[in-house]
Amino acid sequence: MNNEPKNTIFYGPPGTGKTYNIINKCLEIIDKDNFKDIINKEDKREEAVEVYKKLVEQNRIIFCTFHQSYGYEEFVQGLRINENGGFEVRDGILKKICDAASTNLTSRSSKYDFKEENIDFHKMSLGNTNQDTDIYDYCIQNNVVALGWGENIDYSDCNDKEEIREKYEENSKEPKSFTIEAVERFKHWVETDDIIIVSQGNLKAKAIARVIGEYFYDDSTAIEYNHFRKVEWLYKDVTIPVEQIMKNKQFSQQSIYMFAKEDLIIDNIRQLLSEDVSEKDNNYVLVIDEINRGNISKIFGELITLIEEDKRIGSKNEIRVTLPYSENNEKFGIPNNLYILGTMNTADRSIALMDTALRRRFHFIEMMPNYSLLPEDVEGIDVQEFLRTINNRIEFLYDRDHMIGHAYFIKDDLKLEDLVNIMKNKVIPLLQEYFYEDWEKIELILGGTGKNEYDRDYFLVKKVMNLNDIFKKSHGISNTKKYKYEGVDNPTVNAFINVYKALESQE
């Protein structure tokens, strides 16, 4: 394992590149040596984003956003309504990525370097429910897979589907149903060296095998199934989320079928079966955006303790718990190769107000405005000094958690028109939110105000509200001076310069 902290939160004001830099951090955690040429390289940013997207598709990286309604059921595990109108246990984001990461730490029974163009992939069910384990256990112990369809009929001498049909009709009075199709798939579609994935419901796999033998019939076993293929078990008794195997799909309930290869995440399957896990970290990353907006106690529940580095699976103080909704009292822990990254906007909530249980368990990295990333001359405007001055004033009048991030001003081929739009549509509305109804402070931050709408050397115009112009009669209202502030439509270059430097005419 690398020496990166297992739990890290990037925090700072809005627009300081927290989410932007998460991509580089994820690539560094997943495979620093392999991605070193694109990490933190601006000229390789597009390539880094493409690699990140591919890792997200492979579910090596999972991204989620916390909010006030987010809960334990979505994050860890809970009951969900199924297609039949009943309830079933569904794993949340954390449980799924933990299962995937744990699978990569599980010792394989054997390694299989396959070439996908030469083989096919099949799904099989061995038994009907989680409680019906006799068939599955027999198959694991005897290195076989078994088919329940086909009745007590030996199809060894059948060479095609038609011969299977004829033999079945000669020996059985039961309706055909799926029988002929199932036997055809099991006997003729499945070939030596193909891969069989054994499902556990629609959302998980529990074993993976390589086919090493032809079809044979045996009615003398301890189980009710009579049709078999010899296999080599590559994985057994594991939990592999369907998201690690299929692209945005679930396993079908059919007892046997062939996968369409375009539906599979072949790279993940290859990693599970071919790569030597002892040579690579096989790290996984869970990214939690806006982590401070969620109710941490409600979302993490009892797992807040398990994410600590010394409480993870394989650590000296390893802890496993039984999840409230788990089947068969399944024990659950957080694997050592899972890294949790969070982002936190300090303008939404100060770090001092965060859940203390979360603060103790995370490594915090502050991200503040980086003025060096901004240009020093855009049509005469020093954007670096402009933003630095604004932030110094915000820090004085409010605090450093509400500074304006440099990302607001980053744009290819930045021009005056772009700067005007950024100020009108992003920065000034943000200041209005920070200093609600306190226009005097916004005036101080933006370097003053013009006297009328024709004065475009400022961002704001300050107008006197005349009582006699507003009311026909005063109705006893005292004639106290009131002011109103309006934004300037097209501020000039001097509006920017005036923030950090006196106008030439005033020198």
- Model pLDDT for residues 11-62, shown as the tens digit of each residue: 999 999 998 899 999 999 999 889 999 998 888 999 999 999 999 988 899 9
Q: What is the DSSP string of 198-258?
A: EEETTTEEEEEEEEEEEEEE-S-SSSS--EEEEEEEEEEEEEEEGGGTBSS----SSSEEE
> In degrees rounded to 5, what are phi and psi of residue 381?
-100, 125
Average pLDDT of the chain is 89
pLDDT at 6 over 90: yes
Lowest mean pLDDT among 106-115, 259-268, 415-424: 106-115
pLDDT at 476 over 70: no
Which three-class secondary structure state does DSSP give residue 161?
Answer: helix
267-to-14, 54, 345, 467 alpha-carbon distances in Å = 36, 10, 35, 73
**Which domains, ranges and CATH numbers included, belong to the chain?**
7-77+281-366 (3.40.50.300), 109-272 (3.10.590), 371-506 (no CATH)
pLDDT digits (tens, 9 = 90+) for 319-371: 999 998 887 677 899 999 999 999 999 888 766 667 777 788 899 999 999 99
Decide: pTM greater than 0.85. no
pLDDT at 176 over 90: no
64 membership: H or E segment, kind and range = strand 61-65
> Average pLDDT for residues 74-87, to the nearest whole number?
84
> Average pLDDT for residues 153-178, to the nearest whole number?
92
* Of residues 298, 318, 293, the one with CA closest to residue 307: 318
pLDDT digits (tens, 9 = 90+) for 272-300: 888 765 545 589 999 999 998 888 889 99
pLDDT given at position 471: 73
- Cα 120 to chain centroid distance, Å, stands at 30
pLDDT given at position 368: 95
**Pairing between β-strand 87-91 and β-strand 77-81 as defined by DSSP bridges:** antiparallel
Residue 254 in contact with residue 181, Cβ under 8 Å? no
Q: Who contacts 160 (Cβ-Cβ below 8 Å, separation ≥6)?
A: 188
pLDDT at 453 over 80: no
> Average pLDDT for residues 446-458, to the nearest whole number?
85
DSSP 303: G
- Report the alpha-carbon distance of residue 14 to residue 17 in Å, rounded: 8
Which three-class secondary structure state does DSSP give residue 130?
Answer: coil
